[in-house]
Structure 1
Amino acid sequence: MDENELSQFRNLCRENDKGYINLQPIQRGGILPPESKKVLQSYGDGYSLCDFCFTGRMDEIENPPVSKFIEFFSKFVGMDVSIPTGSSREGARLIISQLASRIPKGKEPVLVLDGLAHYSSFLAAEAAGVSVVEVPHDGNPTYLLQVDQYAAKIDEIMDSSKQEMVGALLTHSDYLYGNVTDPKVVGRICHDKGVPFILNGAYTIGIMPFKGKHVGVDFLTASGHKSMASSGPIGMVACASEYRELLLPPSQIKGDWSGRTFPHKIHTVLGCPSVYGAPLLTLMSSFPRVVERATATKWKEEVAKARLLAGELEHIQGVMQLGCKPHEHTLMQFNTPAFQDIAREHPKKGYFLYRELKERGIVGIFPGMVKSIKLNTYGLSRKQVQYVARCFKEIALEHGVDVSPA
C-alpha cells in the first residue's frame, strides 16, 4: 500500500457535524453532551478503562466508578441485575441464547416476538438456533401491534408436543414507525403462562420514563448509542434477580494439562463485557443528563414537538404520518408521494430532497429516499422544529406542490 492509498484514511472528519439540524432517526437520542465529548477523547486509547482493574472484571472497577454506575442503572430501569454489552442486539443474543440452553433436546425452541421487531431480534434468535413466531400488526397506515395475540401464539406453542417456549419478546418502540407498545399487557400474559418476557428498549430507555419490573419485564435490553447519549457501540442488559445465574454464570472450565481455571470470569461474555473504554465512559458521563431528561414531563414535551412537526408536514399535499395517531414517540415515518413525483422529473432524482434540505442546514433524511421518509425530533428545540417544517413546505411550494394553510 502506498501513501496515496493510505491518505484516504488520514484526517477523517464527519461532514454532518458542522452545526446542521440532524433529523437522523437513529442518532437523536445518542448525541453526546459537551462533557462526554471530553471523556471520549480522554478514554479513547485501547483498554483505557482498565488502569485500576484489580479483580479482572470490568464490571467491578471502582475507579472510574463502573460498578456504582451499573448499580445505579439497575435502579434507573427498575431491574435487579445489569451489565454492559456491546449493543442492545448483543444483549438480545445473550438472553435468547441462554434461555434456549434450557430447552430439552428433541424439542424445537421457539421465541414469540412482535411483527415490528428489529431485524437483529430475528438474527439473535437464529444465532441461538431458535425459531420465531410473530404477533401481527394491523397493517397500513397505523401498524398497531395486536398485543392480545401474544396469548394465542404462546398457547399454540405450549400445546405442541414438538415445540417449547423460549420466551416472548416485545419491541417497546419499533424502529420503523415509532409506535410505542405498552408492555403491561404482554407482561401479564407472560407471567400468567410462566413465560420469560424480554423487552427491547433500544428506542425508549434513556429518553422516556420506564421501570421494568413494574410492568412484568424479566429481561431488558437498552442502547447507549441510540438513546442514552453515548458513543457506540454500547448497550445494557438487565434482568430480574432469579435470572442472574442463567444470564451471567461463572466459568467452570478447567485446562486438562495446566489445570487452569477462571472461576471469577463470566463465560457468557467471555470474561467481562467487551466495552473497555470510551463507549462505556461516555455512557457513564452522560448518565446524569439521561436521568434528568427521562421524565414524564420532559418526554411529554418531546412528543408534543414531534406532533407539531407531523401536523405541519401533513399540510403538504399527500404527506401522511404513518403509525399511531396521536403519535407517542419522536421517531416518525411519513408517506411523501409529492416528493416522489418531483424526483421523477428532477435532474438529481431522489437526491434532490436531501440536497435541498442540506442547503437549508438540515441533514439526516436518508439520501435518495423520497417515497417515504423517516426522521426524529428528539432534543430539538421548538424553534428548530418549526424551522424544519417551514423548510419542507418551502421545498414543496418551490416545486409546485400544494400546501394547505396552517
Structure 2
Amino acid sequence: MKVLLVGGGGREHALARTLSRSPLLTRLWCAPGNPGIAEVATCVPIRAEDIGALVAFARDQAVDLVVCGPEAPLTLGLADRCAEAGLRCFGPSAAAARLEGSKSFTKEICDAAGVPTARWARFTDSAAARDHLRVQGAPIVVKADGLAAGKGVVVAQSVAEAEAAVAAMMDDRAHGEAGAAVVIEECLLGEEISFFALCDGTQALPLAAAQDHKRVGEGDTGPNTGGMGAYSPAPAFTEALRDEVMARMIRPTLAEMAKRGTPFRGVLFAGLMLTAEGPKLIEYNVRFGDPECQVLCLRLRGDLLAALLAACEGGLDAVALDWSPDPAVVVVMAARGYPGTPLRGTAIGGLDAAAAVPGATVFQASTVAGPDGTVLADGGRVLGIAATAGSLREARDAAYAAVDALRWPEGFCRRDIGWRALG
C-alpha cells in the first residue's frame, strides 16, 4: 500500500515510524513532515491545511490511504475531498469532526446520547458569560468553543480568573474566532485520562489509555499547554473502567452520530475525568493525542496500518491489536517562552546521544533542518523524548537520561512526568 501521512509533529513522527514497519506498506510520504520523519518517509512540502494540494498529490501518486494526523485538516474537509476524489482517508468527515471543532456540539451530542459529562452553558455575549460566572462561582472551566491548538481552556480557581479568561477569549480574541463563543463548565475533580478507540462508523475497537500532563509547570502548575508529557498504561484506568467508557460513552456517541447522518470514522479520543461518581467526559478529539500517540505507538503490537484500513472500510470486529505490558513515558522538550511566544531557530545537539540511551526513542515535533544539516527548533513543543522499560520508574529514568544527553540550553521540560503513578 502507498500511504500519505498528513502532518509534521511528534504525533506524526510516531505514526510514521509505526506505519513504516507494516508488511502492507510499499511507499510512505509525509506532508509536510520534519527532519525526524524524513528518516522513515519521503517528506513533501505541502502544508497540512492545503487540502487541494494534498488531494492532488494523493491522486497523482495513486495513494491507497491518506492518514490525517492533526485535527485542522479534518475540520477543513480533508476526508470529504478525498472521498470526492475516490481516495480512502483515515479520519472523520468535516461534519463528524465537529466533535472536536465545536465544544458545544460535543455537549449537545453528549446530552442526546446520555453520555456523562460536566454541566455546561454556551455564550456568545461576554457580559452574559460574566454574569453566569458570578452566579456559578469557582473553580470553573472556560473553553473557547472552537479549535485553539490545545490552549483554549482555562481551569479558573477564582471568578476573577474566569472573567479574565472570558475577556481574553471573547473581547480580545486571544484565539481568534475560536473564542467568539465560549463554553463554561462545571469543574470536574479527579484523575484525568486520555482514552482512544478506533471507529468505523458503527463499531469501535478500544485501544489503550494514557495520562497526559497539560500544565506547563511541575506539580501541574501554570497555564495549560498542548501537553508536556505522557505515560501509558495509566494504572488508574482499569479494564472495568475501559468497558464502562465503551458502553456509556463511545458506543452511544457513535450511535448518535450515525443517527444524525454523520457517522464517525477514525480515532475517537475521549478526554476523561475519573470522578467520585464515575468517569465523565471532558471533551472529544477526533485524532490521536500528542504526546499520547508517542507512548501508544511504543506499546502497540500488531499492524497499525491494517487497523486504520479496517476503520475506513468497516470490519473492525476482525482486527486484533495487542499491547506490550512494558510502560512507556514521553517527556516533551519545549522551547523557552512556550506556551507563549517560543524561541525559534536554536540548534539542538545531542540527538544521537539521546537516542542511544537504552530503551529511548527521540520524536521530533517542531523542528526544521538548518543549512549545515543541524536540527533547529521551530515551534513550542519541539521534541518528545520517550522510553520503554519493565517498570514505569525505569522508563521514566531512561527518558530523563536521554533528556540529559541533549545539548539544547534553550529548551526546557517538566521533571515530574508520571508523578501521579509514582508519587
- What TM-score comes out, normalization by structure 2 length? 0.30
Greater RCO, 1 or 2 (C-alpha within 8 Å, sep 6+): 1
